[in-house]
Amino acid sequence: MRTIALGSLLLALLPAAPALADNSTLLNLSASAQRELANDEVTASLYVQERQAQPAVLADRLNKALARARGEAAAFKPVEFSSGSYNSWPDYGRDGKIQGWQGRAQIRLKSRDFTAAAELVARLQKFMLLENVQFNVADSTRRQAEDSLIPEAIAALQAQAAATGKALGRHSQQVLELNIGQVQAPPPMPMLRAKAMMADAAAPEVATPDWQAGNSVVQLNVSGRIELR
């Protein structure tokens, strides 16, 4: 019976690396392409915070605030509504005994319709606090940008190889390996934060904010090995 070492078998199954010509030069290069895009999506989070003597009363108040927020959001179809964090904790006195309970409930909004989102946020601020607002490039827009950035980044990589080959007197190039990175963008901007304070159900009407979304720069990085001949 013949036996074959596992290492030899695996080696035989792997594709052979391309052989380099005797007069070739191997380059390890990297390049990138970027594009400035208008932020077309807004995300916002709001919360309500309460302090009550009994945990059941606290939970009831928080749940009613969440239900009210969900009801307000139902009229704004372009805005995606979701629940956020929900926490409660005991409030201790100086004697170390529990003297009450505090709780905090959060909601999140996301939309590409800035007008609808701004109006909903204004309504919710009558009984909730605005925690933050962020503007960013939507996933679908980023994917479209990636489709156009890939050939630009590869062209930049090949241009580097061509310039190097010209300096070396070698005008033929072959891409042996290519790594394409993900489209990257800086953190969403701008961000607005609210001070921590109790929500007031009797608050007056809140003016609809006039948001300026700004732009973001998305960037795609590529790297690879190119043989010059």
pLDDT of residue 203: 56
Cα–Cα distance, 109 to 86 (Å, whole number): 16
pLDDT in tens, the chain (229 residues): 333 333 333 333 344 445 555 578 899 999 999 999 999 999 999 999 999 999 999 999 999 999 999 999 999 999 999 999 999 999 998 998 999 999 999 999 999 999 999 999 999 999 999 999 999 999 999 989 988 999 999 999 999 999 999 999 888 989 899 998 865 555 555 555 444 334 444 456 788 888 888 999 999 999 999 999 8
pLDDT of residue 122: 96
**CATH number attached to the domain at 41-136:** 3.30.70.360
What residues contact 132, with CB distance under 8 A and at least 6 apart? 44, 45, 191, 192, 193, 194
Tally of residues, the chain: 229
What residues contact 199, with CB distance under 8 A and at least 6 apart? 48, 49, 50, 65, 127, 128, 129
Edge to edge, the sheet with strand 215-228 lists 25-38, 215-228, 173-180
Cross-strand pairs, 13: none
